[in-house]
Amino acid sequence: MTTAGNEKSDKLKTAKDDDFFEWYNDIVIKANLCDNRYPIKGMNVWTPYGWKLMRQIDAFIRREMDATDHEEVCFPLLIPETEFKKEKDHIKGFDEEVYWVTHAGLNPLDIRLVVRPTSETAMYPMFSLWVRSHQDLPLKIFQIVNTFRYETKQTRAFMRVREIHFFESHTCHADREDAERQVKQDIEIVDAVCRELCIPHSFFIRTDWDKFPGAFYTVGIDTIMPDGRTLQIGSAHYYSTNFSKPYNITYEKENGEHEYVHQTTLGMTERLLGAVVGIHGDNSGLVLPPAIAPVQAVIIPIFKKDNEAEVMQVCRAAEAALASAGIRAKLDDSDGRPGAKFYVWELKGVPLRLEIGGKDIENGVATFARRDTGAKGTVELESIGQGVRMMLDIIASDMMKSAEEKQKGFIDDFSDMSAESIPEGRIVRIGWCGSPECGHKFEDKYDMKILGTPYRPEEWKGRCVCCGKEGCGPAYAARTL
């Protein structure tokens, strides 16, 4: 049974365009995606509806991992300080973010333990035992676990939290060439996952001062929120031998020589769900991509006293037909007016609403309403599974196209450092020579972050926006969440 809810108490307080952050915080609670009343700031409780969404996202990640020969593991939560400190740049990067365990009961520990912020330093001592020869390569594993970082900025569900639902893959390779093939594959994996979520995204090779601690280079994965700020939803890293040397991860070549492995990682978090909420939601609530919606089609019976039995019988048959077609369908047979039910399911973001009443039955159809556009039409009851599947595919395609068009509208080319400021909500493409001096000069003047240079090459002819050097490539800069 589904309760229709109270329209007044569930109504969103703020319009999305008026105050994105206030709207976002409100919709997360009203749609019951999580409960932020747990007595540790930034550690929220996953409620059933939000957890169903996250589990569906995890399922897409696992699908891509299985298809690319990664194997799932689960490593311990705690990491000895001795292992955590082996890569100096890595520990320096996490100095202010980690949680420490110092006691077991009342007894001080001889060696402090780190609560996992990410798993390089947990996994790599084991990799040095698992990798022995060239026949053990490539080693490709992943896990989906919780990580913990002391977020000092204002926390926000799914975007900035202290307990993070985290996916991470870790690989070992014989040489740089094979490792960089893995980075390319990681980019394809992200494309596939984001396609299911209808999330437009870009890949940028991060600046040296913004790369992951210990990485040789980092590819940041960014999307744009409705306020024009970017949200990093993941990252891929090529480590070279920066971790294999301190952790002594070597393999024996066919000629008997020993070499350090080259390593990569790919990481994504619950920010994927935050991006779905922010990009697609509207002033009536969530708008969910069909692929992750816990309920893809909700059936609302419209009856009078004299035809209730007939309408309900047809609705139950339609629900069964949709289920047989592999569609996650729900018949809302709860008490309450149809209008109240419409409101609740709109808030929850169900992609397709099906209304079945006496006239619909006479005509052999169900009336549908799309959540993304509000467009209405009919689908034949006789072929309802096929018709709804087609509509869900159209909805997903249209949601992606609409989001891509909106995000392109935020980007401007910028070439004049004499400008006093760059307006809020704008992302700029600039010419950049690549020097830290010019990069910092631009960031400091405009209070923006250089996201990096495109991982996928773009045509560009121009000068560095700061020093005027010719033949520079493009870089993108934004204000970030």
Domains and CATH numbers, the chain: 14-280 (3.30.930.10), 297-396 (3.40.50.800), 411-478 (3.30.110.30)
Tokens of 16: 């999305």
Lowest mean pLDDT among 9-13, 17-21, 67-71: 9-13
Q: How confident is the model at residue 420 (pLDDT cuts 50, 70, 90)?
A: very high
Nearest to 120 by CA among 61, 170, 62, 178: 170
Count the alpha carbons within 13 Å of 49 in the hemisphere toward its beta carbon: 18
pLDDT digits (tens, 9 = 90+) for 262-318: 999 999 999 999 999 999 999 999 999 999 999 999 999 999 889 999 999 999 999
Residue 4 has pLDDT above 60, yes or no: no
**pLDDT for the residue numbered 461:** 84
Q: Which ranges in 326-383 belong to alpha helices (H)? A: 338-347, 358-363
- pTM assigned to the model: 0.94
* The predicted structure's pLDDT at residue 9: 56
Q: Measured in Å, how far apart are the chain's first and last C-alpha atoms?
A: 39
Is 185 a residue whose pLDDT tops 90?
yes
Q: What is the pLDDT of residue 94?
A: 80
Q: What three-state secondary structure class fits 392?
A: helix
Mean pLDDT across the stretch 416-444? 96
For residues 369-383, average pLDDT = 97
Per residue in 50-98, pLDDT (tens digit) is 999 999 999 999 999 999 999 999 999 999 999 998 877 777 778 889 9
Distance, CA of 298 to CA of 319 (rounded, Å): 9
Structure tokens at 223: 């999307």
Q: 105 is written with which tokens?
A: 């009961």
pLDDT, the chain, mean: 95
Answer whether residue 440 shows pLDDT above 80. Answer: yes
- Residue 167 and residue 292: Cα distance in Å, rounded? 17
**pLDDT (0 to 100) of residue 374:** 97
Cα separation values, 48 from 53, 162, 212, 293, Å = 9, 20, 33, 13
Give the span between the Cα atoms of 168 and 364, in whole angstroms: 49
Confidence of residue 189 (pLDDT cuts 50, 70, 90): very high
210: amino acid identity, one letter: D
Three-class DSSP category at 252: strand
Report yes or no: 425 and 459 within 8 Å, Cβ to Cβ: no
Strand pairing class (250-252; 258-260): antiparallel
